[in-house]
Amino acid sequence: MSKYFAAGLMAALAATTGCTDDPLYIQPVSAIEVNAPGTMANTATVQLTLPVRALADLEADEIAERQALALELGVADADIPWPSREDIDVSIEWTIRNLEAVDGEARIDVNGANEYFEYVPALFVIDPDEMEEPPPLMGDIPLQVPASSTITGVFREDQLQEASLDLELISRADPTLTPFAALLAIHEDMQEFVMTGGTTIPKELFAHLVRLDITLEGDRHMVMEFAVRVRDHRNPNLIVDECLDENEVLNPTLDACMALRQFAPVTIDPFGLAGM
């Protein structure tokens, strides 16, 4: 584990126990590596699903809260996301190491899924010769990585909030926006959107990303490490602590996490490609 992440984990562990806003640093089992010796892979992706409690495990007062919220806002229970943007704040802290003695360039793409939908840019391309693949939810910026050096950065909480709303506008909104229209505009002041059927979804019910698909592209032998920083506003906590080991590395093989691994978003398939 790098000193960078070790410092972050120590800060998290030093926080006062019991406060739902104390941040957790969730790390994947493995780093992302590209252009390793003997390979020609200049891109690699790691998926990380936040270990949230299953809806079936809600306590009685939480169920009553959802029922009251549905009645107050005039929505169905299924329209209330788990988690919403009100439930959590998420950021991604990352490092990229250039293992070669030559300057290099890297890009990070971040896509993912909420409870309802998964964003797959390639599904929006019918004819690769005529259409450009839409951008990722976040990233796709050239990063200069000097020879034998490490760079660091972060995708901020407000960027994750905006990316989460962009996915809502691409998927649940009526009319849906194209990825280009959604991702190339800022919607931070949006208060609501309307779904098919006329149901209004207020900002309190905007879904948050629950799975992150992080892709590293590089032109040198590079290794990317990242940690997902989560501030959990639910009480009891939304995040299942048993899914993390003593180093806050996500361990989805634990019995407590098996059901969470089946928290499967639906793939956006705007052109019916899945049935072909």
Q: How far apart are CA 195 and CA 211, in angstroms?
A: 22
Within-domain flag for 272: no
Q: How far apart are CA 48 and CA 38, in angstroms?
A: 27
Average pLDDT in the chain? 88
For the chain, the maximum distance between any two Cα atoms, rounded to a whole number of angstroms, is 62
Reported as a single tens digit per residue, the pLDDT across 118-175 is 999 988 888 888 888 999 999 999 999 999 999 999 999 999 999 999 999 999 999 9
Helix or strand holding residue 10 (H, E): helix 3-14
Total count of domains within the chain: 1
Q: Using alpha carbons, select from 236, 191, 248, 239 the residue that is nearest to residue 73.
A: 191
Radius of gyration, alpha carbons of the chain: 19
Within-domain flag for 141: yes
pLDDT at 2 over 70: no
For strands 266-267 and 117-119, give the pairing.
Answer: parallel
In the numeric block, which tokens belong to residue 120?
């797959």
| DSSP symbol at 130 | T
In the numeric block, which tokens belong to residue 249?
């590395």
Q: What's the pTM value of the predicted model, to 2 decimals?
A: 0.88
Within-domain flag for 270: no
Place of tokens 């180093």: 247
- Per-residue b or e along 164-193, where b marks 16 or more CB atoms closer than 10 Å to that residue's CB: bbbbbbbbbbeebbebeebbeeeeeeeeeb
68-72, 182-186, 200-204, range with the lowest pLDDT? 182-186
| DSSP symbol at 263 | -
Range of the domain at 259: 3-263
Q: How far apart are CA 70 and CA 50, in angstroms?
A: 25
Reported as a single tens digit per residue, the pLDDT across 35-67 is 999 998 999 999 999 999 988 889 999 999 999
In the numeric block, which tokens belong to residue 90?
């998420």
87 CB burial (10 A radius; 0-12, 13-18, 19+): middle
Q: Answer whether 237's CB lies under 8 Å from 62's CB.
A: no
pLDDT at 131: 83
Within-domain flag for 80: yes
* DSSP helix/strand/coil, 218: strand
Within-domain flag for 275: no
Within-domain flag for 276: no
Within-domain flag for 247: yes
Within-domain flag for 18: yes
